[in-house]
Structure 1
Amino acid sequence: MPLRSSLPAIARTLNPMTALRHIARVALGTALIGAGVSHLTVAREEFRAQVPEFVPLDPDTTVVISGVKEVLLGTLLVFARKRRGLVGWLAALFFVVIFPGNIAQWVHQRDGFGLDTDEKRFVRLFFQPVLVAWALWSTRGGKR
């Protein structure tokens, strides 16, 4: 029996780019779920270091709300079958909205997640655009 016929139907229908996007989307979603759960449990204190002073809520409340949103977005990235493009835009928007927290951590020299020097906190800022691009690229549909 040829190998191609023994593959699951879904694997036979995906082109390599679509498969790569699928893997990237599931990886990002899984990472968001993990980060969201850590917001609610073991890393709450660490995440408080990223809450800017201008946020009108208590830092712990902000961390909990953002954690719940991360779990929701991650779940949608992994499991949403329809409207993946919309989910990608929502995830990208989320990464943009939380970016001031990363800036606040750098400007106010707050340690958290091993970011214990100005250089590390500054370099961290450049990863946020990567997350935005990742969310948009991984949820873009293939050619129809």
Structure 2
Amino acid sequence: MEISAFLLPKDQVSYITSSITMLEALEQLEHHYYSAIPIINEEGKYVGTLSEGDLLWKFKNTAGLNFENMREVTVSEIQQHVHNESVEIHAQMEDMLTLAADQNFVPVVDDKGIFLGIIRRKDIIEYYTRNITD
């Protein structure tokens, strides 16, 4: 089976760009009830995943940062503490499953690093649960 069978395409995935503000990122996480969200750059390449924890660490470690001036901080200025690795669309199932064991979702990219979508761990578990035969 190809990993593309599990792909949730980019047009169905919420993501943010590295140029938006910290406040906008927080609002996206809140709006979708996510604890983490993929980040892409202006060229459409996957560059990382922003988590709630990353936002909290930024607050804790930045003197004077508050809700009023969060508009002055861009996502590119926020250190990411968890590295969600991506997988290429033509990768082997084993590669994707290895990543999914440690990540809630696996970002999928093409051979140039362009973000294509995600594979959710939940969908993988549901598939294998439905198809287990004794």
TM category (shorter chain) comes to 0.3 to 0.5
Q: Which has the higher Rg, Structure 1 or Structure 2?
A: 1
Q: If each structure's strand is expressed as a fraction of its own residues, which one has the higher value?
A: 2
Q: If each structure's helix is expressed as a fraction of its own residues, which one has the higher value?
A: 1
